[in-house]
C-alpha cells in the first residue's frame, strides 16, 4: 500500500541526489523562461551591438515614447547574446523622418561602423509604415560589410501581445552574428530575415506583414541559432558607388500613379514645381495612359529622367530596347528613352533615382544603376 501526504512527498524528494537535482534544474529552468537558446554554448566575450532608435510604434506608449535605453531594458535575455548600447536619433513616427535625416542617419551609422572596430553591428528601430524605405536607403549608402539590421513592431508597448521586444531581440541576435556580414541591410521582424531591397510591408495590421514576394526570406531567427538560406545578388552597402559624405541634399523625385485615362498634367507640373526626376507606377509591366505618354515624352525631351515601374507589387519593368542592339522594334506605351525600374517598387525606385541623380543625369548611366542595384 502506497502512503500519501507530506511524509511521502518528503521521502520521494530525498531520493534525488543533490548533483542530479542541480543538473535537472539547469535543464528545466531555461524552458520555463522560454529561452531562445537552450543548449547553445555562449562565447566568453559577447559581441557589442548598438541600438539607434528613431521612434515608431515600437516606442509609442501612452504618455510618452520609450527611449532607446528603455527599449533595451524591455528585451528579455538580451545579455545572453550581445553587449547592448543605446543611442537616441529621434523619437517620431516614421513618416515624419525627412530626407535630410536619412542622410544624417546613414552618416552616423557609417561613422560608428568605421570608427569602432569593437562594434559587431547596428540595430535601427523605426516605424513600420516607411521602414522598407529607410532600410533600402541605408542598404544603398552604408558602405560597410558589418551588419545593419532594421526592426520595428506592429503593436505598441501597451498592447497585450507587444511584438517589439521579440523583434528587438531577434535583431540583436542577427546583428551580433558574424554570418550576417556582407549581406547588406537586413530587415528582421516576426522571426524572419529579409533583404532591405526585396522586402515590403504587405498588410496594414498583421504581424506577418513584411514579405519579399516572389523571392522568399534570406533566413530565420530560430530558437537554437540564426539560419541563412540565400543572399541577394544586387550591389549594396560596401560595393555601393553612392557616398553620402559628398551629398549635401537629395534631389526631389516624385512618384505618380498610372490608371485608366490618367492625365499627364501632374507629370509636367511636378517638374515645373522642382522635381529633378519622376517615377511612374505603371499598370502591369509599365503601361501608362495616352496622355501620360505624351507628358513623359515632353519632360524627357527637356532632360528630366523618368523611371517606369509596376504598381502590381511583382515582376520587372525592363529598359526599352534601344535601336541598333539586335532587337526587333515593338509597340510600347512608354515614350523612349524611358528608364526601366526593374523589379523595384515605386517607392524604392524613387530612392535609387534620387541617389543616381547625385552622380549623373545620363539616362543610360541611370539605367545601368537600376540594372546593378
User: Are 227 and 177 in contact, with CB atoms under 8 Å apart?
Assistant: no
Identify the residue whose cell numbers are 505603371.
282
Give the per-residue pLDDT at 277: 98
Q: pLDDT at position 351, please?
A: 98
Which one is catalytic: 11, 54, 57, 312? 57
545593419: which residue's cell? Answer: 148
Q: pTM of the prediction? A: 0.85
The residues spanned by each domain of the chain are 48-239, 252-372
Q: Looking at the DSSP assignment, which residues form a beta bridge with residue 339?
A: 307
> Where are the alpha helices (H) located in 33-130, listed in sequence order?
68-73, 99-115
Q: How far is CA 333 from CA 63, 158, 253, 259, 283, in A?
A: 53, 50, 22, 13, 10
Which pLDDT tens digit goes with each residue over 253-292?
999 999 999 999 999 999 999 999 999 999 999 999 999 9
Q: Same CATH fold, 252-372 and 48-239?
A: yes
Longest dimension (CA), the chain: 100
Q: What are the pLDDT digits (tens) for 142-167?
A: 999 999 999 999 999 999 999 999 99
Q: Does residue 207 or residue 38 have the better pLDDT?
A: 207
- Name residues whose C-beta falls within 8 Å of residue 94's C-beta, 6 or more positions apart in sequence: 54, 55, 56, 126, 127, 128, 129, 130, 131, 134, 152
- 57 as an active site residue: the answer is yes
Residue with cell 541526489: 17
Cα separation of 349 and 353, whole Å? 6
pLDDT band at 338 (very low <50, low <70, confident <90, very high): confident
Cα distances (Å, whole numbers) of residue 299 to 70, 269, 335, 353, 356: 50, 10, 10, 16, 18
Alpha helix positions (H), the chain: 6-14, 18-32, 68-73, 99-115, 131-141, 164-175, 265-272, 290-301, 346-357, 363-372
Q: What percent of the residues of the chain are helix, what percent strand, and what percent coil, each to the nearest 5?
A: 35, 15, 50
The residue behind cell 500500500 is: 1
48-239 to CATH, choices 3.30.420.40, 3.30.300.160, 3.40.50.2300, 3.40.50.1170: 3.40.50.1170
Among 44-48, 178-182, 237-241, 351-355, which is the least confidently predicted range? 44-48
Weakest mean pLDDT among 3-7, 42-46, 189-193, 238-242: 3-7
What is the model's pLDDT at position 331?
47
pLDDT in tens, 192-236: 999 999 999 999 999 999 999 899 999 999 999 999 999 999 999
pLDDT tens figures, 88-141: 999 999 999 999 999 999 999 999 999 999 999 999 999 999 999 999 999 999
CATH C-level class of 252-372: alpha beta
Query: Cα separation of 271 and 273, whole Å?
Result: 5
pLDDT of residue 320: 72
Task: Decide which of 54 and 9 is more confident.
Answer: 54
Amino acid at each position: 500500500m502506497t502512503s500519501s501526504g507530506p511524509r511521502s512527498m518528503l521521502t520521494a524528494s530525498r531520493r534525488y541526489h543533490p548533483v542530479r537535482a542541480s543538473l535537472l534544474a539547469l535543464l528545466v529552468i531555461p524552458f520555463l523562461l522560454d529561452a531562445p537558446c537552450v543548449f547553445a554554448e555562449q562565447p566568453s566575450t559577447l559581441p557589442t551591438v548598438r541600438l539607434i532608435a528613431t521612434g515608431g510604434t515600437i516606442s509609442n506608449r501612452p504618455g510618452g515614447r520609450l527611449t532607446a535605453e528603455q527599449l533595451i531594458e524591455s528585451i528579455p535575455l538580451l545579455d545572453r547574446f550581445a553587449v547592448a548600447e543605446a543611442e537616441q536619433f529621434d523619437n517620431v513616427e516614421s513618416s515624419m523622418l525627412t530626407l535630410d535625416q536619412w542622410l544624417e542617419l546613414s552618416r552616423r551609422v557609417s561613422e560608428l561602423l568605421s570608427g569602432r572596430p569593437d562594434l559587431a553591428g547596428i540595430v535601427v528601430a523605426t516605424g513600420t509604415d516607411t521602414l522598407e524605405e529607410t532600410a533600402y536607403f541605408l542598404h544603398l549608402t552604408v558602405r560597410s560589410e558589418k551588419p545593419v539590421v532594421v526592426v520595428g513592431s506592429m503593436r505598441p508597448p501597451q498592447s497585450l501581445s507587444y511584438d517589439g521586444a521579440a523583434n528587438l531581440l531577434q535583431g540583436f541576435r542577427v546583428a551580433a552574428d558574424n554570418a550576417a556580414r556582407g549581406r547588406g541591410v537586413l530587415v528582421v521582424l516576426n522571426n524572419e530575415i529579409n533583404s532591405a531591397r526585396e522586402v515590403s510591408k504587405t498588410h496594414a495590421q498583421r504581424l506577418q506583414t513584411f514579405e519579399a514576394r516572389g523571392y522568399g526570406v534570406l533566413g530565420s531567427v530560430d530558437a537554437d541559432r540564426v539560419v541563412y538560406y540565400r543572399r541577394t545578388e544586387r550591389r549594396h552597402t560596401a560595393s555601393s558607388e553612392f557616398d553620402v559624405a559628398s551629398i549635401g541634399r537629395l534631389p526631389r523625385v516624385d512618384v505618380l500613379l498610372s490608371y485608366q485615362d490618367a492625365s499627364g498634367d501632374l507629370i509636367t507640373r511636378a517638374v515645373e514645381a522642382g522635381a529633378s526626376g519622376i517615377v511612374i507606377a505603371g499598370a502591369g509591366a509599365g503601361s501608362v495612359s495616352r496622355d501620360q505618354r505624351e507628358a513623359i515624352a515632353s519632360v524627357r525631351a527637356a532632360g528630366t529622367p523618368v523611371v517606369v515601374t509596376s504598381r502590381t507589387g511583382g515582376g520587372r519593368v525592363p529598359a526599352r530596347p534601344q535601336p541598333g542592339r539586335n532587337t526587333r522594334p515593338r509597340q510600347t506605351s512608354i515614350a523612349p528613352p524611358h528608364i526601366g525600374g526593374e523589379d523595384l517598387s515605386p517607392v524604392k525606385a524613387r530612392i535609387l533615382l534620387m541617389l543616381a541623380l547625385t552622380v549623373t543625369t545620363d539616362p543610360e548611366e541611370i539605367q545601368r544603376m537600376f540594372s546593378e542595384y
